[in-house]
Amino acid sequence: MSETNNNSSNLRSPTGGQGAPVHKLENYITGSWITGDGDGQLLYDAVTGETIAAATTKGLDFASILQYGREVGNASLRKLTFHERGRMLKVLAMYLMEKKESFYAVSYRTGATKADSWIDIEGGIGNLFANASLRRKFPDLPYCTDGDPIGLSKGGTFMAHHLLVPKEGVAVHINAYNFPVWGMLEKCAVNWLAGVPAVVKPASITSFLTEAVVKEIIASGILPQGALQLLCGSAGDLLDHVTAQDVITFTGSKTTGLMLKGHKVILEESVPFNMEADSLNALLLGSDVTPGSAEWDIFIKEIRKEMTVKAGQKCTAVRRIFVPEQFLEDAYLAIGKSLAQTVIGNPLNDKVRMGALAGKEQRDEVKANVQKLLSASQIVYGSLDSIEVIDADASQGAFLSPLLLLTEHPFQNNAVHDIECFGPVSTIMPYKDLDEAIRLTKKGKGSLCCSIITANDKIATEFVVGAGTHHGRILVLNKDCAKESTGHGSPLPMLVHGGPGRAGGGEEMGGVRGVKHYMQRVAIQGSPTTITAITKQYQPGAKGIQSDVHPFRKYFEDLQVGDQITTQKRIITSEDIDAFAELSGDHFYAHKRDTNFSGTMFEKQVAHGYFILSAAAGLFVDGSDLGPVLLNYGIDELRFTKPVYAGAVLTIRFTCKEKLPQDAKPDDENDIPKGIVKWLVEMLDETAEIAGIATILTMVAKREQKR
């Protein structure tokens, strides 16, 4: 093993020529760049076949890597608030965007075209941006609540809430070869926002690109020490050292996934294991779509894209195409015609739309799997043996022609629903009716995503409800959304990615949902005052904090959750209700004096709910002069729980419920440093019962820069 401080990737200079020593990728562990022992696994340029590097982790102490992550990385990250972690992600994303061209240069060597690399590189960085923005859904604390408060007693002195705290371990990501950048960043963005560090083990064959990105991440100094470690090569005995506080994610083949999932230590320690494996994703053409229609063209375009982007090496790519039986021939002929326009070759050539597979071994595996399918299918487009490429030598690069297969009897052919050809391969099949189509999509035994192309919302509904059990995501595509659609194959940071059954049974991303995978949920029971202190959210029934200063006179920093006032009283009169009806134009029967109320839910003229809230504002607002409260930001919730009749006496209990800081906009000279404050407005009548309850929001200036 040797340690270096070199932060630049050697991949920019040619290596591995005849007799030249092969450059060894470096592992970033326990705060240093270290090369493993031995020769390592040779890695090749997917286009030229040239040897470009070797990957080895031999000799590394895997136990100490995890320990370092827990003791150094986790200790720093868990102390930061969600907002601090989110801002860190944003700064990192902006930094990596500036370096992106150097990543593209390396990415071409994985066989990826510019468009493929965009998905991998900028798509990956996009996940950092998306999770950075997600911080606003969380409090400015290292932990958060989950769900609503739960009352547990009649007297209101005993209650519960669920709390999420960052796990004390490490996120171990074992990734597939197809997205060396996105695969790392889509996962790390989430565990970092949760306050957990990562150990990333990319698939060896494309790990040279992951290494190039990690070099920049580490060089940036944006992440705290220990937040990210990288292993280029075998995972060694890493999994022997995981504990219950760690989380493992795996993307790759079902065989490896199942083997790892059954690891003794993972089972004994109950380590969460999120698996994303082979997925026989389907696309269905609705029976309402006819050749020549707008949706037909969308269908052909989507299939071509799914088969050729990343040369079909996408976990979400369409492997099975179902079309109404009467259009089977039209469909495969049209798809073939479209595929024929795809220029294949060296990704560095601008005309090229499909590059090489990640390696020759991967190509051989795809071919072997196609051979298995051919016992009950036939090729209707493409060839297993010949391919035309531009600007490249087909015998040196891992090129493969797109292959469209046809299976006429999909219920009799199980292989087509079982075998994932991880390349530009898809099989088209007929169906008779929607019920049959739904059953066919389910024969994949669980997939990451599925699409239906239809302009008929009744068909769409029946399909989604019928097939939803077997797919992680369903896209309904038609001319209304096609132009702006992100497409069948794109997992999105705010949507759940993962699927049941064969797809691994896992879930990743999904916005706030994903962050929770790295946090421990714990139910907290106690008094409302204690739960308020812990959650930093005012819980109904908790003791309020009384002071001589009206809360509207306090700057953001000075306000405390629980700051409370009880207002003067106001009598609600019939004249008030009449006047509000005139002013608003709301003459609903319940608000009129002369209504015959027999048989209604009311006894007599009722005040408008919005009048009660307005009257409440009249009671709790303090500030005819300029003060820290800048503006009314809106209402989160509003309930009218009891009719307020003319003659009722209204009092308001007004409490600071939660504080949400907002980032300053340094480029906006009119911006005022500020935060959002949530207030609980309890509208009490003369019996001290709650007649209405609301959570209102105001924007409150920070003291640091008074106007």
Q: Which is nearer to ligand NDP, 508 or 563 (CB)?
A: 508
Residue count at the site for ligand NDP (CB under 6 A)?
23
Q: Which of positions 191-230 make contact with ligand NDP (CB under 6 A)?
A: 201, 203-204
Tokens of 355: 């590059």
- d(Cα 389, Cα 410) in Å, to the nearest integer? 33
Q: Which of positions 392-421 make contact with ligand NDP (CB under 6 A)?
A: 420
- Quickly list DSSP for 427-492: EEEEESSHHHHHHHHHTTSSEEEEEEE-S-HHHHHHHHHHHGGGEEEEEEE-TTTTTT---TT---
From candidates 72, 80, 171, 174, binder to ligand NDP by CB under 6 A: 174
- d(Cα 208, Cα 206) in Å, to the nearest integer? 5
- Quickly list DSSP for 625-666: S--SEEEEEEEEEEEE-S--BTT-EEEEEEEEEEEEE----T
The CB density around residue 24, as the number of other CB atoms within 10 Å, is 21
Asked whether the beta carbons of 280 and 444 are under 8 A apart, the reply is yes
Asked whether the beta carbons of 15 and 53 are under 8 A apart, the reply is yes
Amino acid symbol at 355: G
- d(Cα 4, Cα 21) in Å, to the nearest integer? 17
Q: How far is the CB of 192 from ligand NDP (least distance, A)?
A: 20
Q: Which is nearer to ligand NDP, 177 or 611 (CB)?
A: 177
- d(Cα 15, Cα 695) in Å, to the nearest integer? 64
**Residues in contact with ligand NDP, shown as a per-residue x/- string from 266 to 305 under the rule CB under 6 A:** ----------xxxx--------------------------
Establish whether 450 is a catalytic residue: no
Tokens of 114: 């510019």
Q: Which phi and psi angles does 530 have, rounded to 5°?
A: -65, -45
From candidates 9, 35, 74, 178, binder to ligand NDP by CB under 6 A: 178
**Residues in contact with ligand NDP, shown as a per-residue x/- string from 598 to 637 under the rule CB under 6 A:** ----------------------------------------
Q: Which is nearer to ligand NDP, 238 or 677 (CB)?
A: 238
Asked whether the beta carbons of 126 and 493 are under 8 A apart, the reply is yes
Q: How far is the CB of 260 from ligand NDP (least distance, A)?
A: 6
Q: Which is nearer to ligand NDP, 363 or 674 (CB)?
A: 363
Q: How far is the CB of 243 from ligand NDP (least distance, A)?
A: 17
Q: Which is nearer to ligand NDP, 260 or 534 (CB)?
A: 260
Establish whether 276 is a catalytic residue: yes
Question: Would you count residue 422 as binding ligand NDP (CB under 6 A)?
Answer: yes
Amino acid symbol at 570: R
Tell me which residue has its CB nearest to ligand NDP: 252
According to DSSP, residue 239 is labeled: G
Q: How far is the CB of 62 from ligand NDP (least distance, A)?
A: 11
- d(Cα 629, Cα 621) in Å, to the nearest integer? 10
Question: Would you count residue 235 as binding ligand NDP (CB under 6 A)?
Answer: yes
Question: Would you count residue 529 as binding ligand NDP (CB under 6 A)?
Answer: no
Q: With CB under 6 A as the contact rule, which of the stretches 169-177, 392-400, 636-644, 648-656 interacts with ligand NDP?
A: 169-177
Q: How far is the CB of 185 from ligand NDP (least distance, A)?
A: 16
- d(Cα 491, Cα 507) in Å, to the nearest integer? 11
- Which of 216, 276, 306, 507 is an active site residue? 276
Asked whether the beta carbons of 615 and 537 are under 8 A apart, the reply is no
Amino acid symbol at 259: M
Q: Which residues does 254 contact at the CB level (< 8 Å), separation at least 6?
A: 277, 278, 502, 504
- Which of 188, 232, 315, 421 is an active site residue? 315
**Residues in contact with ligand NDP, shown as a per-residue x/- string from 338 to 377 under the rule CB under 6 A:** ---------------------------x------------
Question: Would you count residue 175 as binding ligand NDP (CB under 6 A)?
Answer: yes
Catalytically annotated residues: 276, 315
Name the site residues for ligand NDP (rule: CB under 6 A). Answer: 174-178, 201, 203-204, 234-235, 251-253, 256, 260, 276-279, 315, 365, 420, 422
